[in-house]
Amino acid sequence: MSFVAKVWKILVGIKDGLVLLFLLLFFVALFAILSARPHPGQVREGALLIELSGRIVEEKSMLDPIEALLSGAAPVEEYRARDLVRALDAAATDDRIKAVVLDLTTFTGGGQVHLTEIGEAMDRVRKAKKPVLTFALGYADDHMLLAAHASEVWLDPQGVALVTGPGGNNLYFADLLQRIGVNAHIYRAGQFKSAVEPYSRSSMSDEARESIAGVYNALWSEWQANVKRARPKADLAGVTGDTAGFIAAGGGDLADAALKAGLVDRLGDRAQFGARVAEIAGKDSADDTPGAFAASDLNAFLADLGPERSGKAIGVVTIAGEIVDGDAGPGTAGGRRIADLLDQALDDDLAALVVRVDSPGGSAIAAEEMRLAIQRFRDRKIPVVVSFANIAASGGYWVATASDRIFAQPETITGSIGVFAVVPTFEQAAAKIGVNADGYKTTPLSGQPDILGGFSPEIEAVLQAGVSATYRDFLIRVARARKMTVAKVDTLAQGRVWDGGAARQMGLVDQFGGLEDALEWAAAKAGLKKGEWHPVFLGEEGENFDPLIRRLLAKQESASAKLAGGDPFALIARRQNELAARLVHDAGWFARGTGVQAYCLECPSRAPVAKAAARAPASGMAALVRLLMAD
């Protein structure tokens, strides 16, 4: 018995030790979470410091803590555009804020609509007689669209400012698929629905080139007009049209060339820039590091502002990213998830609903699921307004057909009213390795679709009929929503993409305006005056473990830092990373075998690729190897 008693004491001791250990870990984790979260008490007099160490988005993606910890590096940060606009507008009237500082050193870009809205908010800060300063090691197109609105643009002497304009090459896989014996069965409706071309051609078709040229040229014209209004002295024509002369003007020094071209105002390192900010906003009394200045960071400032709560609630549902079936998201528009959010909000006594779309589309089934959920608000006589952000194409336009009004911006990419499906079969590849298919069939459809034996003409007809029927449904929905004939919509559709200006002229959108304009219109429609309403963003979640994970990985090189750089060779490295990510994304998309797609694969804004490019090159190449091995 004494032996049993001793064993029992040991087990009890182990149990007590584990309990104490778990309690200790719990309180350590709790302290870490609480200390990592920003709180209002951290705001002080000085500058508002906005360190854009990542990408500007409409909706933040869900952080996977396990993936982040296993990768050993903090993922690329995402900043909601509306948070930045709200912070800038508040800074304009906050007596504690003497200046606004944007550190763009590790900024990786954003959509043109978002950047334009933030630039306008920067203008409002300057109109309030508060300087706005930016600093970067390198300025590319997205950087310049923001920096043009600053009162002082600083560039590191070792850096470069370079404007390239939109455009570039797509990847085409038809020759590769033929070489490895993969047949791409393509079903589409729409002459300009060129999303399937990467799998059926080795180059861009004339129709696709015509469609995308109109969009690119419109975006480029808007970009130049925006920058020229903000920085009239900037020699954009010389920078983009005479590169050799641009370099020669700086005596071969790219930073000096940017200064002479009027892209930047001053050259200086981070310490010199910080000293300049300290002259305006004050020195940091607690930090004697060269270049330190008194400042409050973005998250603490937003926490200090708190949520808007006065008056009636106007719901805002965000459809951002690729539209997919199921519960995916945030950052991806899972049809079931968003439909559930909308159905739950039906009982929330909302005065109106605003649908914010920033999506290239995706699953036609998921788009229809969300459209029906939006329509249920209209059936209850609740005003519904749709606001387009950077891109609202294909399935992103499909959901907008259940609305009372559509807002867009000149830089919005929309349209692409068309559908398609791509299904790979492997009969030739199988034959190459000695695998053949044979059997007994009672009808021509027996065993179909057969990805190893090949498709029969009958199943080909069935699949094409399904795509054509979905396209007709799309046309009918648009025709009813826009009060046009189906024939008229068909002439505007055919899978062609349009810029916001052209879409407005053709009646695909009602008026120009951003999210705030859409909210004000919805409030007026609901009979509410200014100050009698506030927005409620449906399904918006807190930071979860994001601050804690980033603190734990703070000493590791972040994904944003890996994408950063201030010279042309850093730009080449980023493009290599983006190329690998794009190859993995496009090949993976083809191999997924999804259903009928209302998706704008050819649209200039490719958010999935931008996010994938943030990963380490090694992981992207590993994924590519796995895809090739799977063939």
CA-to-CA separations, 89 to 47, 82, 110, 561, 600, in angstroms, rounded? 14, 10, 20, 28, 34
Structure confidence at residue 102 (pLDDT): 98
Q: Do domains 41-163+231-305 and 169-198+309-549+565-631 have the same CATH topology?
A: yes
d(CA 139, CA 159): 8
Structure confidence at residue 391 (pLDDT): 95
Task: Tell me whether the omega of the peptide bond preceding residue 65 falls within 30 degrees of 0, making it cis.
Answer: no
Domain range summary for the chain, segments of one domain joined by +: 41-163+231-305, 169-198+309-549+565-631
Structure confidence at residue 189 (pLDDT): 86
Structure confidence at residue 617 (pLDDT): 38
Cα Rg of the chain, angstroms: 27
Structure confidence at residue 624 (pLDDT): 34
What ranges make up the beta strands (E) of 350-490? 352-359, 361-363, 384-393, 405-408, 413-415, 419-425
Could you say which of 60, 130, 193, 562 is catalytic?
Answer: 193
Along the chain (631 residues), what's the average pLDDT of each consecutive run of 10 residues?
Answer: 65 70 59 50 88 93 68 76 97 96 94 97 97 95 96 95 88 89 87 82 89 92 96 93 91 94 96 96 88 93 85 95 91 95 94 97 94 97 97 95 97 93 88 88 89 89 92 96 95 92 96 96 94 92 58 53 56 62 65 71 56 42 36 39
Pairing of strands 419-425, 77-80: unpaired
With tokens 């001793």, the residue in question is: 6
Nearest partner of 415 among 492, 491, 518, judged by Cα: 492
Q: Which residues touch 618 (CB under 8 Å, ≥6 apart)?
A: none
Q: What fold characterizes domain 41-163+231-305?
A: 2-enoyl-CoA Hydratase; Chain A, domain 1 (3.90.226)
Structure confidence at residue 210 (pLDDT): 87
Nearest partner of 391 among 601, 588, 235, judged by Cα: 601
- 335-345 and 364-379 helices cross at what angle (nearest 10)? 10
Structure confidence at residue 627 (pLDDT): 35
d(CA 100, CA 292): 15
49, 307 Cβ separation under 8 angstroms: no
Class of domain 169-198+309-549+565-631: alpha beta
Two structure tokens written together for 514: 């951003």
Two structure tokens written together for 43: 């705001």
Could you say which of 61, 296, 387, 394 is catalytic?
Answer: 394
Two structure tokens written together for 281: 């906003």
Two structure tokens written together for 456: 């029969």
Q: Is 394 a catalytic residue?
A: yes
599, 412 Cβ separation under 8 angstroms: no
279, 266 Cβ separation under 8 angstroms: no
d(CA 473, CA 494): 13
**Three-state DSSP state, 470:** helix
**Three-state DSSP state, 540:** coil
Two structure tokens written together for 515: 């999210």
120-143: burial string, b at 16+ Cβ within 10 Å, e else = bbbbbbbeeebbbbbbbbbbbbbb
